[in-house]
């Protein structure tokens, strides 16, 4: 604008330049907060920058990392999904989304996201390894549920025991498997075992409606009406 000044444009340019300097300063502060592991401060600074730089994939990925460190994986997912769209062939974002869903116990969404990663790069080592794990677990859960629908409770129990062996590291799967085994035991008139297992689930998740219902059914079988 120096070569061809116009009042309005010059003012606009100055404003944008000031804003740009301010955003660069915030960016430096955000990186510094992240390096010092002050993730809350980093998120707050990144919020300010992303309100202006909406389409910056790298900043979204950084904020997602902060959310993960702060124990807010659901918020990380929306930033990573945006980053996956904004940056071509972003296998890393799909891998991270899939892992988060897996940790949260949503194996079906995890499978669908890891497939997106493999569509972009079928030789991606991390994605392929995660894909094999999730696919195996997904298949076991699906077949266990099919057995329950057919009333084959013994077989379903053994299938859910396999689920716990397949994924011993992520607690949500063991809890869900125990909840479903308790259901099978209750349906199979094995009241004592059902009560014991449902109680285990309820110690971990006091408001688990399915476990409460199944334990109630088991109590009825034992004529324990008060309980």
Q: Specify the CATH number for the domain of residue 210.
A: 1.25.40
Confidence (pLDDT) at 7: 74
Residues 6+ apart with CB under 8 A from 15: none
Amino acid 215: pLDDT: 97
Which of 67, 69, 91 shows the shortest CA–CA distance to 79?
67
Tell me the pLDDT band of 8, cut-offs 50, 70 and 90: confident
Does residue 176 fall inside a structural domain?
yes
Count of domains forming the chain: 1
In a domain, 140, yes or no: no
Burial of 194 (0-12, 13-18, 19+ CB in 10 A): buried
Residue 93 pLDDT greater than 90, yes or no:
yes
Residue 199 lies in a domain: yes
Residues 83-99, mean pLDDT to the nearest whole number: 95
What tokens does 18 get? 């000031």
Distances (CA, A) of 122 to 4, 70, 109, 136: 53, 32, 19, 18
What distances in angstroms separate CA 88 from CA 26, 57, 85, 149, one per listed residue?
Answer: 26, 10, 7, 43
Mean pLDDT of 170-176: 95
Q: What is the mean pLDDT of the chain?
A: 95
The pLDDT of 175-182, averaged and rounded, is: 97
- Count Cα atoms within 13 angstroms, Cβ side, for 109: 13
Q: Is residue 222 part of a domain?
A: yes
3-state secondary structure of 151: coil
CA distances, 57 to each of 62, 116, 140, 187 (Å): 9, 18, 36, 50
Can you list the alpha helix ranges (DSSP code H) found in 53-124?
Answer: 57-69, 73-86, 91-104, 107-120
**Residue 193: predicted pLDDT:** 96
Q: Residue 6's pLDDT is what? A: 77
Which residues form the domain of 174?
151-226
Predicted local distance difference test score (pLDDT) of residue 63? 97
pLDDT at 123 over 80: yes
In the predicted model, what is the mean pLDDT of residues 151-169?
A: 96
- pLDDT for position 1: 67
Of the given ranges (12-21, 152-161, 184-193, 199-208), which has the lowest mean pLDDT?
A: 12-21
Tell me, yes or no, whether 177 lies in a domain.
Answer: yes
């Amino acid at each position: 604008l120096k070569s061809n000044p116009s009042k309005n444009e010059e003012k606009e340019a100055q404003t944008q330049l000031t804003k740009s300097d301010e955003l660069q300063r915030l960016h430096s502060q955000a990186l510094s907060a992240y390096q010092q592991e002050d993730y809350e401060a980093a998120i707050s600074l990144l919020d300010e920058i992303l309100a202006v730089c909406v389409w910056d994939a790298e900043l979204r990925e950084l904020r997602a990392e902060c959310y993960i460190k702060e124990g807010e994986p659901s918020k990380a997912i929306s930033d990573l999904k945006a980053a996956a769209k904004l940056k071509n062939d972003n296998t890393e974002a799909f891998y991270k989304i899939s892992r988060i869903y897996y940790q949260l116990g949503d194996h079906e969404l995890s499978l669908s996201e890891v497939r997106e990663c493999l569509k972009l790069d079928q030789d991606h080592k991390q994605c392929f390894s995660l894909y094999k794990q999730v696919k195996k677990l997904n298949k076991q859960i699906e077949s266990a549920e099919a057995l329950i629908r057919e009333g084959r409770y013994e077989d379903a129990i053994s299938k859910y025991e396999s689920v716990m062996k397949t994924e011993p590291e992520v607690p949500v799967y063991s809890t869900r498997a125990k909840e479903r085994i308790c259901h099978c035991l209750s349906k199979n008139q094995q009241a004592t075992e059902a009560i014991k297992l449902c109680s285990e689930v309820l110690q971990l998740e006091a408001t688990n409606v399915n476990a409460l219902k199944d334990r109630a059914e088991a109590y009825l079988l034992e004529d324990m009406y008060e309980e």
